[in-house]
Each structure stands twice: as C-alpha cells, then as structure tokens.
Structure 1
Amino acid sequence: MSGIISLVLVQARRDRLVLPAWILGISFLEFAVAGAVATEFAGDADRTAIIRVAAASPAFLFIRGLPDGTGIGELVFFQGYTFTAVLAGLMSTFLVIRHTRADEELGRAELVGAAPIAREASLTATLILGAAVNLVLALCVAAGFAAAGLGSFGASMAGAAVGAVGVFFVAVAAAVAQVMPSGRAANGAAAGLVGAAYFLRGIGDAFGTPNADLTRVTSGWVSLLSPIGWGQRSRPFSAADPAPLLLLTAAATVLAVAVLGIRKGRDLGASLLVEPAGRARAGTGGDSFLGLAWRQQWPTLIGWCLFAALLGGIAGGLGPVISDVMGDNDSLRELIRRLVPGSRAEIIDVFTTALLGMAGVLAAATGIQAVLRLRMEETEGRAELLLSAPRSRARWLSANLLLAAASAVVVAIVAGTAATVGLTLSGTVNDPPGLLVAAALAHVPAAILFIAATAVLFAAVPRLCIPFGWGLLAGGLILGQYGELLGLPAWLQDVSPFRHSAAMPVEPFDLVPALAMSVIALAGAAAAAYLFRRRDLTP
C-alpha cells in the first residue's frame, strides 16, 4: 500500500500545475455564472421569462440542459452545469490517459514496473488520484456556489453532481487506456466519449416534456444513456436527489474494479486493440511532409467528421419536434424576432444556427489537435529524425498547418451537409441549396485563427503548447457562450474569434470579419514558422 501512496504523490507532483489550473478554472466559472445570474436576473419575473423561453425551445435545451424552476439556484444550475460537467470529464480523461497509456508508450511505466510492486499498482494510484481530484473539484464548485449566495445544501449537491461525472469518466478513461494502443488514440477516444455523453444528454433534453407553465422540463429517456444526464437528475436546488449521483459512483467503482482485473492480466505495452503494422514502403505522396501529415491525421479526421455528421444530423432529427413546438405560438415568434432583430429568424433557424456554431468549435478542435501532433512528434524523438533530412522546418510546419486548416474546412462541410440532409428528410427546410453548408463554413475563419494561435504557442513555448492550446479554445468558448451573462466588457468578449463569425442563417454573412481573421491567421502562421526556425528541438 505504501508503494501505491508513493505513486499517487509522484503523479500528483507531475500534475502540480495542470490540475490546480483545471480545478480553479472550473470553480471560478461556476462562481462567476452564479454571481452574474443573481445580478442579471434578480427579479422573479425576469427569471420566469428566460426559463419559459428555454423550456419552449429545443435549441436551448440541447445546448444548456433542463430548466428546473425559477429560483436563482435552479437558473444557475441550468446555465452552467452541462458545460462544467464536460470540463470535469475532459480533465479526468486527460489525467488518466497521461498516467496510464501515455506512460506505457513513452517507457515510464516500464521503469515504475521494475520496482517490487503489483502490476496494477500504477493504475490503482491513478484511479485514487482521479477520485481525489474530483472530490476537491466538487468541494471547490460547492464553495463557489456558496460564496455567490446560494444555499449550502444545494451548492453541495451541485458540486457533487460535477464531481460524480468526473469520477465516472476517470473509470471510463482507465478502461479506454486498456483498449487503445497509443496515448493519442486513447485521448481521442476518451474525449469522444465525453462528447457523446454531452450529445446524448442534449438529445434527451431536447425531446423533454415541459410542464404546463413552462418552468420545468422532464428529460427524455435518451438522457439516461449519459452520465451528464444522470448528474442533471440530482436537481440540487429544487428537489435534491442524491440517488443518481450514488448510481454514477457505484457504476464508476464497478468499472474501475473490472479495469484493474484487465490490467492485472495484460502485458505492459499491450492493448485489447492491436495497432496494425504499417506498410514496408510509403504510398503515393508518402515521401512528402504533406503526405506524411495526412497519413498521421486521417484516422483522427474521420473521428471528428463523424461527430460533425452527428451534430448536423441532430438538426434534422429534431426538426419535426421544433415545428410542433412552434405551432401557432405567435408570442414565441415575436420573442425570437426581438432577440435577433432585422432577420428572418424562425426557431428552427435559431436551433440550426446554434448547432452549426458548435460545429465551428469542432472544426477548431480538429485543427488544434492536428497542430499539437507536432509537439508529440518532437517529444517522442521522431521530429529530430525527420528534420535530419535536407528539408526545412518551415516546410514541415507549413504542411501540417495546411492539413489542419483543410481538416477544419472538411469538418464544417460535413456538419453543414448533414444538417441539410437531415432537415430535408424531415421536411422542415425551405432554405436555398447549400445555405447550411455555407453557414457552417462561415465559422472556419475563427477556427483557423485558433489553429494559427496554437502554432505560435508550439513555436514559442513548446512545453506549454498543449494546455495553452486547448485553453485558448476553452477561453474563446467561454467568452462566446457566457460573456454577456457574466457582464464582461464588449472588448473582452470580442477577443473570442467565435464572436465575429456570422451566425448564418439567422444573420447575413459579413465578409469583413472573416477576411480580418484570415489575414491574422496567415500572419500568425508566418510568425510561427519564423519562431520555429530559431529555436532548438526540445524533449
């Protein structure tokens, strides 16, 4: 047991900067949302109005979650829980993969295994660390809610809901680490499962049933397939029920025990899925940087495209539901037109616009992951071998940036095409052909700006580029989603590239911001190439 505790301390020391940043960032976000809601919606009439709009709109339900009353605590939980739960899931999956599959891939696990400890000791330490980190996160989130003036019991239950989701994904990531053959594949698969949990929760909520006065929505059965949906059912500020959280914790415990059994019988470095051996000779284009980048990135690109297709297809699947909700509700139509003045906005357009905005986030994430692959090549020593050939660093970087930008475009096209097909099949689309594809592509300039910023980080501060790269995306998303709610100044909100993307089809395309972001992205790519040429390769 002393060996396991020592491993827990070693792993915690390795993450002494990353984990506090995650915990404090998530906790501060919830504190800020709680304070903003208490300020912006102090009156019961204001809270009732926004809750009724949300309850009547599948777009709000899909993105934010379930309204559960008109109190301040209920509104805070509705506004912030789902995004916070996703962040807790990502924190947990990255933590577990970093200390399991990635350590096996890099040889660290072999050094640890040389000590006189059990084969599964390192995984046990990681599971303990993951549970402890999520316990601290739950306490910090609860403290943030309590500091914002919410009731202590409801704040504790809300923190426990976030922590329970994180604990569940600790066990899920541990299982993924046994299945996938590489750290990169395991990270992608585990993060994909977090995204799938968000989507399943969103579908169940969008198909939910509102009560008569539109102040509470009961989710559909699909949300039962999502741990985020189970956490949401705890209803901390209205009718607190710890049973869903206990169920999540029990499921995580059972899964963790099963994973420990698998690890005990698995050889170090082996996996349940075997990575196929490559061909003896490269195919067409394999002797170029661009061809090499494509060979490394295409499996990941397919995964992102599947998510984009799912996101676009949801618009078609929910089209009839939205039409039924709309009905002859003239007051809701008028409210939508006031929210988006001067536009042709119908509720179906608002919903589609919201989904395509999320597709823009997926496009940015696709490109960021492609750029961060360069750092993995560098730390694992392959970049040094590759660049020992008479070819320039700038060409290597440029080829990968080109593929990253192209990947973002492909993801956007897939999302727009899937939305078009889905809405056409449901019979609820009257837009000109290609409009939704163009609407998805309108978010690409913002995506490539994130790609260029990540490239600059890789060239300037390579050891920090991975957390900072994803942190930029999270920051841009928070500013775009919560900037107005938090009462942030307009100039700070405008820092997020997502704020400058045209929200088609609700509003017309604006060429000037798109060109400006594209020019800035090109300048950033040039700066990254210059900085990369001037620095040494670092482990």
Structure 2
Amino acid sequence: MVRFMLRRDRVRLGVWTASIVFFYAYFVVALGAMGDPALAGRALIMETPSGIAMGGPGYGIENYTVGVAIANEGITWMVMGLAIMSILHIVRHTRGEEESGRSELVLARAVGRHAPAVAAALTLFLVNAVIAIVSALALSGVGGDELPLGDSFALTVGSGLGAMVFGAIALVAAQVTERGRGAVGISLAAFGLAFMIRAAGDIQQRQGSSLSWFSPIAWPQQMRPFVDVRWWPAALCVVAIVLFLLVGAFLGSRRDFGGGLIAVRAGRSDARGTLRGPATLAWLQQRTALICCALGLGLMWFASGTLLPDITSMISEIPESNPVFAAVFGEDPGQFTTAFLGVMILFAMLCCAAYAVVMGQRPKAEEGAGRAEIALATSVSRYRWFASQLLVAALGTGMLAAVSIWAMWLGAVSVGYAEQTFADYTGVLWPYLVALASYLGFATVLYAWIPRASGAGWVLLIYTFVIGMFGGLLQDLPDWVHGISPFYWLPAAFTEQPDIGYMLGLAGVAVLLFALGFVGFRRRDVPTT
C-alpha cells in the first residue's frame, strides 16, 4: 500500500517537494541580496505586533542575519504549507478512499483494518523526511557558512514535524466525520486555532509566553535555529504525533467502516419543492461548508479585533525605547495599528480566496460523482446548472469576506477600540469583493477547459501570498510581476481610496474569466473522458 500510494501521488508529491525546496532557496537568495541595512529594517518590523503575529517570537532580533530572518519569518509559513499537504494527503488516502468505495475492495483482501491509515502515515513521514533533508542541504548549499548544516536541519526537521502534527489531527478527524470535506475542514480549523494561540502568546511576551507552548506551530520556532539551536522542542511534536495516531487508531476500531463517529442526519423521505431548481440544490450542497467556514473565520477574526487595544499600547512604547525605530517608522502609534489591521484583513481575504478556489472546483466534484450528468439529462440547461453552482460559490465567498471584516470590527468595538467605524470597514470590504471574483473566475476557467488541471487554481492564491509577503525582498521586480496578483490593485486599508479604473479593470477581468468558463463548459463533454 505504501508503494501504491507513492506511485499514485508521485506527481503531486513531487510538485510539493520541489515547491518547498525552491521556496527555501529563493528566500535565502532574496534575503542575501538585501544587505545588512535592509535586514536591520526588517528586524525592526519583526518587533511590532504585526511582525510577531505573522512571524514568530523573535529570537536573534539583535543580530538579524539571513538565517535568523529565515527562522523568524519563514517557519510559520513553512509549517502552514506542509500542514496543508499533510492534511490533504491523510484525508485523501483514508476518508477519501472510504467514500469512493476503494478501501472496501482493498480490505476485502488479507489487509488489516488500520493498514490504509498506517500506510498513509508512513508515506507522509517519508515525504516530509525527503523535503526536510533536501531543503536543509539547499539552505546550507546556497547560504554557505552563514547557514550551518546543523541549524538548517533544525529548521527543516522542526517544520516538518510541526506539520505532521496536523496530519495526525487529520487522521483523527477522518474517524469523526463521514465526509472528506468535513475532515479537511476540522483539520484546517485546528491549524487556525493553533495559529491564533501562537500569535496571541507571542504578542503577550517576546520570545513566547506560556500560552505559546499550547500551539504546535510554536514548537519548531522554539528550537531557535541559527540563534541557539536546541532539539528538545522537537520531542513535543513527536509525542503529539504519536498521541493523535493512537487516538485515531482507537476511534477507528470503534466505528463502522464507511461511517463516522458523528452520524449523518437522516434526510427527508420526500424532496422539498424548492429543490426543483439547480440553484437550491447547489446551496444545499455548499451550505454546510459555508456555515462552518463562516463560524470559524468569524470567531478567529473577532478574536483578532480584540487585540487592537493591546497592540496600540505596545506600539506606543516602542519609539520611546528604540530611537532607531522612531527614526525609521515615525512616532505615530495609530499608523502602525492601522498597518497591523491591514495585514489582518489581507490574511482574512486570502482565506476567502481559498474558499473561492475550493468552491470553484465544486462542479468537478459533481461531475465526478455522476450527479452533473443526471441533472443535465433533464430539462436543466448547461448554462443554468453551471451558473447555479458559480452563483452560490460567489455569494458564499462574499458572505465570508463580510463576516471576516465585520467580525474584526465587532471584536475591536467590544473592547472599546473605535478608531475605525463600521462604514470604514465596509469601505475596505467592497474592493476585495471585486478582487475575490478573479480567484473564482480563474478556478472556473480551469475546470471548464482543463478539468484535470482544476487543482492549479491554487497557483494564483499561492502566488498572491508569496509576492505579497516576499516580493518586496527583490527591489527590481517589474510591476507586471506584482500586477498578476488581484490584491495588488487594491488600496491600502483605511488610508487610501479605491481607484475606479483599477476596480473596473478587475471587474472586467473577472467577467472575462467567467465568460471563458461558460464557453469552455459548453464546448466539452460531460463527463470528461
């Protein structure tokens, strides 16, 4: 089964491995090209609450070398990328195989009940081990003496182990729910909670408070690579992985095959009249994911909003104790609070863009399950069916964006922070709605024209994140490289007004993408052969 999984996923896992290794190497080259003054400026940013929340506890800030910068600014995002890979891999080969019926055929042979889960965990370990080894060699090889091999291994191995914790959580989630989407949602929610706990703990106290240690994301950071490396926090990852695997095995032994510990509620014996249309059917299929995402993101960004008074207080003290900070960034704490809020909104909108990409692939799931062919065999036209799926996805994406931003405002107001009004937050919201349509449109075009490559919809989202976070490291990048990201054309939150020309341009691109999607879907066979 291990050989089968590796053969089946050889392209998928190869792309993940190459991408992670390339990102490490790119990060080293980009930071090395900046020079010491620019690195010192980045160290000052890492002392702000936004830098701490997005980066980490801030070890080695006093001597901000390339290695220290990679550890401070890269570990969180490496763990996130590897965690997503781990979650999808585990769910794909456990709950996904049960849903498809293939696991039942395999287990009908002389194969143990836990063999698929054990094989999935073993393959995940092998892939993470390869990524860690090759990435460490790439770091040390590109960085030379400035990035010792031992510290490089501490960074990559710690990140891999931290990510595998969430893979083990996904195995537990796969026993709880009957649907792969539910297992992925629970696992990603666990990562979001871990991120918030780590950020809140590190903001409370530099180099991490006791709260930080409750997050698996903090454990690789506490290994202090390129500063004062220590390996014992990696043991926390190993213990957590073993515990979650044991819990998953325990739960897996006590549920029916194909079922979950939480039983699916029985449906009505007859269909409602409202289900006669494809739009209401699409809503019924997407509503659970939308409601869960809205609740999770709403709570997370509400909690973020409650941090604003503490952040303002912390920032107001920095210029007094750090004259260099005041000289570089000024002495207005409100300016930095607004910048921090803008970063939070950016990450909230990236989450909404991810939802748009997922729901843009929803028609493919309907087609693969055979339901699209059945629906299109009736009087429902292709355009009507396709438009219904996209309409519900678009409305859901807009709803998530509104919930995220307004929850942030509500959290700030609940603790007495009223620097920005509800109207200000709403003014930030609507330009993002225009940009988010581009992500859904891009996923639509891929599904309509090249269904096998519909997963490439994530490329635009990843590109937006990378160019937004690290594009500034390379000063000579042309404007068109930044302009590929739809978010590049949006105004800075709370400080700039939207450019009508840019907004019309983004809207035009989205309309063109949707039009191309409808043309492509009309021209090809359903199902794809």
Question: What interval of TM-score do these two structures reach, taking the shorter chain for normalisation?
Answer: over 0.9
SS of the residue corresponding to residue 17 of structure 1 reads helix
CA–CA distance in 1 between the matches of 2:217 and 2:208?
12
Give deviations 1:379-430, integer Å, cap 9, x for gaps. 1111111211111111111112112221121112112211222222222322
Q: Provide the residue aligned with 2:44 in structure 1.
A: 52
Amino acid at match of 2:528: T
Shift of the 152–344 alpha-carbon distance from structure 1 to 2, 3 Å rule, reads closer
SS of the residue corresponding to residue 274 of structure 1 reads coil
Q: Provide the residue aligned with 1:214 in structure 2.
A: none
Shift of the 59–505 alpha-carbon distance from structure 1 to 2, 3 Å rule, reads same
Aligned residue pair count: 517
Structure 2 residue 148 is matched with structure 1 residue 151: yes
Counterpart pick for 1:325 among 308, 314, 338: 314
SS of the residue corresponding to residue 476 of structure 1 reads helix
Determine if contact 1:96/1:170 at 8 Å carries over to the other structure: yes
Q: Provide the residue aligned with 1:68 in structure 2.
A: 59
Q: Which moved more, 1:187-196 or 1:82-91?
A: 187-196
Determine if contact 2:406/2:425 at 8 Å carries over to the other structure: yes
Amino acid at match of 1:63: M
CA–CA distance in 2 between the matches of 1:283 and 1:295?
11
Q: Provide the residue aligned with 1:92 in structure 2.
A: 86
Q: Provide the residue aligned with 1:538 in structure 2.
A: 528
Q: Provide the residue aligned with 2:460 in structure 1.
A: 472
Q: Provide the residue aligned with 1:78 in structure 2.
A: 72
Amino acid at match of 1:190: S
Determine if contact 1:416/1:436 at 8 Å carries over to the other structure: yes
Determine if contact 1:161/1:231 at 8 Å carries over to the other structure: yes
Structure 2 residue 345 is matched with structure 1 residue 356: yes
CA-CA distance at 1:263 after TM superposition: 2.4
Counterpart pick for 1:12 among 6, 9, 26: 6
SS of the residue corresponding to residue 443 of structure 1 reads helix
Determine if contact 2:178/2:260 at 8 Å carries over to the other structure: yes
Counterpart pick for 1:244 among 219, 233, 249: 233
Q: Provide the residue aligned with 2:121 in structure 1.
A: 127
Amino acid at match of 2:303: I
Give deviations 1:203-231, integer Å, cap 9, x for gaps. 2222233xxxxxxxx12333222211111
Q: Provide the residue aligned with 1:304 in structure 2.
A: 293
Determine if contact 2:53/2:202 at 8 Å carries over to the other structure: yes
CA–CA distance in 2 between the matches of 1:438 and 1:363?
17
CA-CA distance at 1:71 after TM superposition: 2.4
Instruction: Note the residue ranges of structure 1 that are not aligned, 5 or more in a row.
Output: 1-6, 210-217
Give deviations 1:283-319, integer Å, cap 9, x for gaps. 3632211111111111111222123323432343211
Determine if contact 1:227/1:248 at 8 Å carries over to the other structure: yes
Determine if contact 1:316/1:422 at 8 Å carries over to the other structure: yes
Give deviations 1:150-188, integer Å, cap 9, x for gaps. 111111101111111122122111111111111121122
Structure 2 residue 177 is matched with structure 1 residue 180: yes
CA–CA distance in 2 between the matches of 1:254 and 1:524?
46
Q: Provide the residue aligned with 2:259 in structure 1.
A: 270
CA–CA distance in 2 between the matches of 1:312 and 1:120?
38
Counterpart pick for 2:440 among 451, 459, 468: 451
CA-CA distance at 1:21 after TM superposition: 0.6
Determine if contact 1:323/1:428 at 8 Å carries over to the other structure: no
CA-CA distance at 1:82 after TM superposition: 0.8
SS of the residue corresponding to residue 484 of structure 1 reads helix
CA-CA distance at 1:146 after TM superposition: 1.1
TM-score of the aligned structures, taking structure 2 as reference length: 0.93
SS of the residue corresponding to residue 495 of structure 2 reads coil
Structure 2 residue 194 is matched with structure 1 residue 197: yes
Amino acid at match of 1:49: G
Determine if contact 2:315/2:333 at 8 Å carries over to the other structure: no
Q: Provide the residue aligned with 1:4 in structure 2.
A: none
SS of the residue corresponding to residue 275 of structure 1 reads coil
CA–CA distance in 1 between the matches of 2:78 and 2:425?
29
CA–CA distance in 2 between the matches of 1:259 and 1:417?
37
CA–CA distance in 1 between the matches of 2:511 and 2:150?
51
CA-CA distance at 1:274 after TM superposition: 1.1
CA–CA distance in 2 between the matches of 1:313 and 1:175?
27
Counterpart pick for 2:473 among 481, 485, 489: 485
Q: Provide the residue aligned with 1:213 in structure 2.
A: none
CA-CA distance at 1:11 after TM superposition: 0.8
Q: Which moved more, 1:343-352 or 1:198-207?
A: 343-352
Shift of the 516–273 alpha-carbon distance from structure 1 to 2, 3 Å rule, reads same
TM-score of the aligned structures, taking structure 1 as reference length: 0.91
Amino acid at match of 2:459: G
CA–CA distance in 1 between the matches of 2:329 and 2:299?
26
CA-CA distance at 1:128 after TM superposition: 0.7
Q: Which moved more, 1:79-88 or 1:364-373?
A: 364-373
Q: Provide the residue aligned with 1:112 in structure 2.
A: 106
Q: Provide the residue aligned with 2:204 in structure 1.
A: 207
Amino acid at match of 2:467: L
CA–CA distance in 2 between the matches of 1:378 and 1:368?
17
Amino acid at match of 2:216: P
Amino acid at match of 1:151: P
Q: CA RMSD in A?
A: 2.0
CA-CA distance at 1:345 after TM superposition: 6.3
CA-CA distance at 1:193 after TM superposition: 2.0
